Chain A
Amino acid sequence: AQSVTQLDSHVSVSEGTPVLLRCNYSSSYSPSLFWYVQHPNKGLQLLLKYTSAATLVKGINGFEAEFKKSETSFHLTKPSAHMSDAAEYFCVVTSLYSSASKIIFGSGTRLSIRP
Chain B
Amino acid sequence: NAGVTQTPKFQVLKTGQSMTLQCAQDMNHEYMSWYRQDPGMGLRLIHYSVGAGITDQGEVPNGYNVSRSTTEDFPLRLLSAAPSQTSVYFCASSYQGLADSYNEQFFGPGTRLTVL
Binary contact track A74-115/B, C-beta < 8 Å → 1, others 0: 000000000000000010001010111111011110000000
Given A43-B4, A43-B107, A43-B110: A100 in contact with B58 (beta carbons within 8 A): yes
A26 within 8 A of B: no
Given A99-B98, A100-B33, A100-B98: A105 in contact with B107 (beta carbons within 8 A): no
| Contact (Cβ within 8 A) A46 B105 | yes
| Contact (Cβ within 8 A) A108 B58 | no
Report how many A-B pairs have Cβ atoms within 8 Å. Answer: 67
| Contact (Cβ within 8 A) A101 B57 | yes
| Contact (Cβ within 8 A) A101 B58 | yes
Cα distance A42–B9 when bound, in Å? 11
The smallest C-beta distance from B36 to any residue of chain A, in angstroms, reads 11
| Contact (Cβ within 8 A) B108 A43 | yes
| Contact (Cβ within 8 A) A107 B56 | no
| Contact (Cβ within 8 A) A32 B59 | no
A residues with a Cβ closer than 8 A to B are: 9, 32, 34, 41-46, 49, 51, 90, 94, 96, 98-103, 105-108
- A sample of 10 cross-chain residue pairs with beta-carbon separation below 8 angstroms, ordered by A number, consists of A34-B102, A41-B110, A49-B104, A96-B101, A99-B99, A100-B50, A100-B58, A100-B97, A103-B102, A107-B40
